[in-house]
Amino acid sequence: MSDETVDARGLSCPEPVLLSKAAIERIGRGTVDVLVDTVTSRENVARMARTLSCMVEEKEADDGSYVLSITKE
Amino acid sequence: MRLTRFLASRQGMIVAGGAIGAMAAALQLCGNPPNMGLCMVCFPRDIAGAIGLHRAPVVQYLRPEIMAVVFGSLIAAVAAREFRPRAGSAPIVRFLLGVFAVIGALVFLGCPWRALLRLAGGDWNSLVGIGGLVVGVGLGCVFLKRGYSLGRNHPMPWIAGCLFPAVMALFLGLLLLKTSFKEGQAIFFSQQGPGAMHASVWISLGLGLLIGMLAQRTRFCTMGALRDVLLIRDFHLLSGVVALVIAVAVVNVLAVVLSHLTSETPLTIKIGWQAMPISHANHVWNFLGMVLAGLCFALAGGCPGRQFFLTGEGDGDAAVFCCGMFVGAGITHNWFLAAAPDKMVDGVLQLGGPGGYGRIAVAVGIVFCIILGLTARPRKTA
């Protein structure tokens, strides 16, 4: 169960990264689920999360979009 | 899979950036204009001239590099299952951003790609342009941090994603057939000037395809390189850009050295500020032109190269931006907005730069972008 969900599907670079980063900083500690629909967004969000020392779990949803579960301890 | 992982890594980005730079420099050595092996604004401008959107006779040629990078990106995207047709995010805004981006870039006489090639070719005026680009992208970052957004795109039918590549295929066909719809009319081919300087079609196509493939796989973006450093201190894209500049410089120097060893008419590199090839030393307008261009690219989500690569992924919003670039190039030359390069007349420098209309257009563009940046926010739903 995530503490916050960010729906970044359909948004232009760099909005998925900015929204995800803001959510991670907002919750301080916990899990943020980020929804994106391009591989580029998935890579960019994951890279940003890892630079913030977060754990990232990537899953593909049924509709072809991606869910990144980002956990900050 | 292994190649995908490598190209997504820092090392992969550096290798790809270096390869792209080397190929861009090679295109110049094969006949493209000086310090213009590849330009993602000048080349669409040449295409606009070829199809008759403007009648500046020295810049009319259906540059196959542009078609090729779109095809290369399409091939790479399809192979990696990343071809996802999508569109619908504020098309008229993106179209106008494309128009103004070209206006700004043609006041500087190049896009960010050409700025890097000029830098690696010893044209120090590019530093002023790159300074303007940083300011423009930085201003875009301020708007992004304040919540600027053009809204979401939506999945589209596959045919919608194929249309821009299809138009590029049409242009390529017109080039290969050397089409003339009527004597003295389109398709125009410059007989002199930069439009008459080009590598062979097959070299341009081959290298363009490779550049498109590499750029799509690595998400290469000259504007994004600056934006990511300014916004989130991420140097991933910048590492590729730096590698590109170094590779271009190395190829340029190697070419000069080899030509001195093997040719009676060796190549030279001109280094400096004044009367540089297809360049001007009007620093105020080099700076402001690229402020406008950088701001437009930041607000549109990618540099002009990235916009063309995205069309290969089926991105209809990028296609609209690219259409804006073609139309903007037509307007720029028909309305005398573009800068003139420096000229040496009887040993005296005639400083180039934009005329009055070009200066007004840059000012209008910057104001447009600022209003857009301040007011474009996602709608709040109840």
Return the bridge partners of B344, or none.
Answer: B349
Question: A50 touching B, CB under 8 A?
Answer: no
**Helix, strand, or coil (residue B208):** helix
Search chain A and give the residue with CA nearest B297. A13
Amino acid letter, B371:
I
DSSP 8-state class, residue B195? G
Q: Please confirm whether the linkage preceding A14 is cis (ω < 30° from 0).
A: yes
pLDDT at B268 (0 to 100): 86
Per-residue 3-state assignment (H helix, E strand, C coil) for chain A? CCCEEEECCCCCCCHHHHHHHHHHHHHCCEEEEEEECCHHHHHHHHHHHHHCCCEEEEEECCCCCEEEEEEEC
Query: Rounded to a whole number, what is the distance in Å from the CA of A43 to chain B's nearest CA?
Result: 8
Query: Rounded to a whole number, what is the distance in Å from the CA of A63 to chain B's nearest CA?
Result: 11
Question: B45 touching A, CB under 8 A?
Answer: no
Domain ranges across chain A: 4-72
Among A13-22, A44-53, B264-273, B350-359, which stretch is predicted with the lowest mean pLDDT?
A: B264-273
**A4-72: CATH class:** alpha beta
Handedness of CA B89, B92, B135, B279 (dihedral sign): positive
pLDDT at B171 (0 to 100): 98
Search chain B and give the residue with CA nearest A17. B232
**Is B80 in contact with A39 (Cβ distance < 8 A)?**
yes
Backbone angles phi, psi at B344, to 5 degrees: -100, 120
Handedness of CA A51, A37, B376, B369 (dihedral sign): positive
Question: B234 touching A, CB under 8 A?
Answer: yes
Residues 3-42 in A contacting B (C-alpha not used; CB under 8 Å): 9-15, 17-18, 21, 37-40
Query: Rounded to a whole number, what is the distance in Å from the CA of A1 to chain B's nearest CA?
Result: 25
pLDDT in tens, chain B (382 residues): 788 889 989 999 999 999 999 999 999 999 999 999 999 999 999 999 999 999 999 999 999 999 999 999 999 999 999 999 999 999 999 999 999 999 999 999 999 999 999 999 999 999 999 999 999 999 999 999 999 999 999 999 999 999 999 999 999 999 999 999 999 999 999 999 999 999 999 999 999 999 999 999 999 999 999 999 999 999 999 999 999 999 999 999 999 999 999 988 888 889 999 999 999 999 999 999 999 999 999 999 999 999 999 999 999 999 999 999 999 999 999 999 999 999 999 989 999 999 999 999 999 999 999 999 999 987 655 4
**Is A14 in contact with B144 (Cβ distance < 8 A)?**
yes
Q: Which residues of A touch B89 (CB under 8 A)?
A: 10, 12
In terms of phi and psi (left: phi > 0; alpha: psi -120 to 50; beta: otherwise), the region of A53 is left
Q: Quote the crossing angle between the two packed helices B316-334 and B304-312, to the nearest 10°.
A: 140
Pick the closest to residue B36 from B25, B23, B21, B45 (CA basis): B25
Search chain A and give the residue with CA nearest B86. A10
CA A51, B21, B317, B61: dihedral to nearest 10 degrees?
A: 170
B202 Cβ contact list (under 8 Å, min separation 6): none
DSSP for B123-164, written as a single string: BTHHHHHHHHHHHHHHHHHHHHHTT------EE--HHHHHHH
pTM summary value: 0.97
Which one of B150, B219, B238 would you mutate to disrupt binding with A, by most A Cβ within 10 Å of its Cβ?
B219
Query: Rounded to a whole number, what is the distance in Å from the CA of A19 to chain B's nearest CA?
Result: 9
Distance CA A7, CA B242 (A): 33
Query: Rounded to a whole number, what is the distance in Å from the CA of B228 to chain A's nearest CA?
Result: 8
**Helix, strand, or coil (residue B350):** strand
**Helix, strand, or coil (residue B315):** strand
pLDDT at B252 (0 to 100): 96
**Is A18 in contact with B145 (Cβ distance < 8 A)?**
yes
Distance CA B44, CA B328 (A): 10
Residues 314-373 in B contacting A (C-alpha not used; CB under 8 Å): 317
Residues 265-304 in B contacting A (C-alpha not used; CB under 8 Å): 300-302
